[in-house]
Structure 1
Amino acid sequence: MSATHPVYALQQAWALAAKRQDLPQIQSFYQSEFLAFDAVKQLQFNASDYFVHWGQCMEFCPQHSHFDLHQVQLHSSGDLAVVTALLYCAGTDEQGNTQGCWLRLTQAWQLQHTNWQIIHDHFSVPFDMVSTQVLFQLTPEHGESA
């Protein structure tokens, strides 16, 4: 992955805005019309519903202690870039309990005039097909359980 590509710095800034729970800053990275697939709540989100969802997630975990990108890979051609990463997200709830897990993240970015913006977000968590249990205990080291 090229750390010199503009999307690399933008994605790092996006993750920092998410860690700070700065919803207006988070929104600034997205094109006005986009589609998002999140790991929580529903199959897909349009632009207006997605930021309501972000707000609800922030209320659930009012203090992020982690929103950290790992194993970031960027592939680009012309005005499109695709970024994949593993994301460790953890926060402390109002009772002081820290909860966190690893997620898979894919983002599609498109160059709009002179600005790169997110046109698609996809967060997911693996699950076991036999038990139908979500595998929150997985870690990046060989995909093994913690």
Structure 2
Amino acid sequence: MPTTTPINSLDEQIRQRMEDWRTSFEAKDVDGMMSFYADGDAFSAFDLMPPIEFRGGDMWRQNWVGFFAAWEGALHLEFSNVEVHASHDLAIARLLVRLVGTMEGQKFDLWVRTTNCFRRIDGEWLMIHDHVSVPLDFATGQSLMNLSPAKPFG
């Protein structure tokens, strides 16, 4: 007789949070996005766009409002090479993320590197740090936005 197994392992809980985050992202749902982050100064981010560091929820919310407003039509994310390391109340998700969409008339299809740090707060896994980056060609000073994973890990 089949049974429904609750999401028990910490790894599975974090992977589910990431999938739920993706759903909010693709829906351009700012309130939904913000529900994944710790409140106030408990949250920080290093993102692709300035400033060099985001600190606190209000600053991060404004980033999402501006980001989603710049994109026309649908946004699509693909996760690859997802690794989760979790223990008790702290977890790290490390992954490659493909972003496909159109911003201000320009089509984008790029891969970024992402590291999300989670803390279990009042029983809920919330991001306390979000880091997104692309490699840099030091010789030219240019971002390398045309790279993709050589081969997915699984």
- Tell whether the structures are fold-level matches, with TM greater than 0.5: yes
Match of 1:51 in 2: 61
Change (3 A) 1:115 1:35: same
Alpha-carbon offset, residue 139 of structure 1: 0.8
Larger radius of gyration: 2
Q: Is the 8 A contact 1:64 1:89 kept in 2?
A: no
Equivalent of 1:21 in 7, 25, 28: 28
Alpha-carbon offset, residue 70 of structure 1: 1.1
* Unmatched 5+ stretches in structure 2: 1-8
Alpha-carbon offset, residue 94 of structure 1: 5.5
For 2:147 and 2:51, locate their aligned partners in 1 and report how far apart those are by CA, in whole Å.
22
Alpha-carbon offset, residue 127 of structure 1: 0.7
Spell out the pairing of 1:1-146 with structure 2 (5 A cutoff): 5-33=12-40, 34-46=43-55, 47-93=57-103, 95=105, 97-141=106-150
Alpha-carbon offset, residue 9 of structure 1: 0.4
Change (3 A) 1:117 1:85: same
Give the counterpart letter for 2:35 in structure 1: S
TM-score of the aligned structures, taking structure 2 as reference length: 0.84
Specify the SS of the correspondent of 1:53.
helix
TM-score of the aligned structures, taking structure 1 as reference length: 0.88
Specify the SS of the correspondent of 1:136.
coil
Alpha-carbon offset, residue 5 of structure 1: 2.5
Specify the SS of the correspondent of 2:67.
helix
Root-mean-square deviation (CA, aligned residues, Å) is 1.7
